[in-house]
Amino acid sequence: MDDLILTIGDKNLSSWSFRPWFLMKQAGVPFTEENIRLDRPETRGVLKEKSPSGFVPYLTHGAVQIWDSIAIMEYVADLFPEKALWPGNVAARGVARAVSAEMHAGFSALRTVWPMMFLRDHPGHTTQAGVARDIARIDALWTMCRQQYGSGGDYLFGAFSIADAMYAPVVSRFLTYGPVAVSDASAAYMETIRNTDAWRAWADGARQETGAA
Ligand SMILES: N[C@@H](CCC(=O)N[C@@H](CS)C(=O)NCC(=O)O)C(=O)O
């Protein structure tokens, strides 16, 4: 099989890059990482030349390029069925896809008002009603997943899945802009995510990129 090359943006900033990177790293999918720094004078030109969509992330696999975070994760799930990146049970898989689609398509207030800044370490934040609504909905989703589908492990659907990768940048936002009031189940889930090897590796990379290491 050709090598997988995942092209991503800055680890401190690029929430969409974080999702497939976190999935592949935590699941042990072998890949090479390529980086394009965002918010630089040359960024637009580089993305226009190299990325099919003009955005990161994108995945290169031989002659094939796959763009958009969720399509990349679906492609990887197809390539590595033994990694079981979606839940095996049909009902759980359907709900996992719904939860992931809701993240991909929604929560625009949270994403706009609290952009991911992985290394943000100062207290305080601006907020608005839309952010509170998004937080409440995410808390309800996480709590429901953990209670109804999570009995086989510590992740949303028990075992680690694409749904967890979709929400990893939200865990980052809740930690860096919070504290946010969430259920005990959601708080425990956030601890699970922040204690993964992949989370620590991303944080190390973000510190190196920003010169904070
Ligand atoms: N729907 C896309 C969104 C990708 C996206 O918005 N990527 C941002 C970085 S997180 C980007 O490439 N921005 C280009 C720029 O800053 O010029 C996905 O899910 O991958």
Domains 4-83 and 90-198 share a fold: no
pTM for the predicted model, two decimal places: 0.98
Q: Are 135 and 195 in contact (CB under 8 A)?
A: no
Q: How many CB atoms lie within 10 A of CB 61?
A: 18
Asked whether residue 213 carries a pLDDT value surpassing 90, the answer given is: no
The confidence score (pLDDT) of residue 127 equals 86
pLDDT tens for each residue of 131-189 = 999 999 999 999 999 999 999 999 999 999 999 999 999 999 999 998 999 999 999 99
The confidence score (pLDDT) of residue 98 equals 98
pLDDT tens for each residue of 48-101 = 999 999 999 999 999 999 999 999 999 999 999 999 999 999 999 999 999 999
Q: Are 126 and 113 in contact (CB under 8 A)?
A: yes
Q: What is the DSSP letter of 2?
A: P
The confidence score (pLDDT) of residue 126 equals 86
Return the closest-CA partner of residue 70 out of 51, 109, 97, 33. 97
pLDDT tens for each residue of 6-24 = 999 999 999 999 999 999 9
Return the closest-CA partner of residue 76 out of 28, 131, 9, 126. 28
Whether residue 52 is preceded by a cis peptide bond, meaning omega within 30 degrees of 0, is no
Q: Which residues line ligand 1 (CB under 6 A)?
A: 9, 14-17, 38, 43-44, 47, 55-57, 68-69
CA of 93 to the centre of ligand 1 (A): 26
Q: Are 12 and 206 in contact (CB under 8 A)?
A: yes
Q: Are 79 and 1 in contact (CB under 8 A)?
A: yes
Q: Does domain 4-83 have CATH number 3.40.50.300?
A: no
Task: Give the domain 90-198 fold.
Answer: Glutathione S-transferase Yfyf (Class Pi); Chain A, domain 2 (1.20.1050)
Ligand 1 atom nearest the C-alpha of 9 is: 9
Spans of all domains in the chain = 4-83, 90-198
pLDDT tens for each residue of 74-87 = 999 999 999 999 99
